[in-house]
Chain A
């Protein structure tokens, strides 16, 4: 009998997350895809995630539910130009965010996810390496700012995260009468990240919410794709009204785009 395993990213809609055998971020799903004993992997995510699953588990048939499911980090990157850019830094290590095509990864020395990017780049700098970073300009700018790196950056963005902007955020925060926190994914623009109380991967954002023990009335502003809000419901805690605030916050930020 054919064993079908369904993987879903945290950013998918709640109904799809409920259909999945495993829900996770990019790193968690890649590791699961490698180890799962599946004949068929249905990957509810974007195309580059399904491609990574196929590469780490070549024996499984990997199916992407919709071919059009992609990301601007991929569509904004011309591979021939990337190759020239990479060749212009022959003494650098090329670190590529996993949100990139297979052809892009083939030009890299390391891939990283938002869960391990800080550790891996710190590891490379500790070895005295020089690093170039692609394709996410926002994440690279954050790493350069936060750690004082001088990494040359490729210039693509995730269009969902890049739309969060400081002006809309300031307007929103100024309108709030309740205490608030801003937690952000590092694909967001640097001015938003500089204002954030916490910056982390999707799994990191979830862990922050689960560990949160402050004022239950506080408004938690979440700067990432809203599919993650489903996972932010914490059983046993009165999060219903707070969750409305999450959604409100995200929608308000987007409404100013």
Chain B
């Protein structure tokens, strides 16, 4: 967490730094979202 410096967060807010999470494989997302949604639905009860 310490790598989240003020400077790094500011650069990300201005979209001049950081890494965009755009590398996830669609097939992985489709499978991974199932257990995540199951948890979120459970917690919303």
Contacts and interface: CB of A to CB of B under 8 A. Distances in A.
Interface string B1-17: 11111101111110101
A27 B43 CA distance: 9
Secondary structure class of chain B's binding surface, majority of residues: helix
A96 B35 contact: yes
Interface residues of B, number: 34
Given A13-B4, A45-B1, A65-B8, A116 B21 contact: no
B33 A66 contact: no
B24 A54 contact: yes
Given A13-B4, A69-B1, A52 B36 contact: yes
B17 to A, nearest CB: 7
Interface in A128-157: none
A192 B43 CA distance: 28
Given A44-B9, A65-B12, A13 B39 contact: no
Interface of B: 1-6, 8-13, 15, 17-22, 24, 28-29, 31-40, 42-43
30 contacts: A9-B1, A13-B2, A16-B5, A19-B9, A42-B12, A44-B4, A44-B9, A51-B21, A54-B24, A55-B33, A56-B33, A56-B36, A58-B29, A61-B20, A63-B19, A63-B20, A63-B21, A65-B9, A66-B19, A67-B19, A68-B3, A69-B3, A98-B39, A102-B29, A108-B35, A109-B38, A112-B39, A113-B39, A115-B43, A225-B1
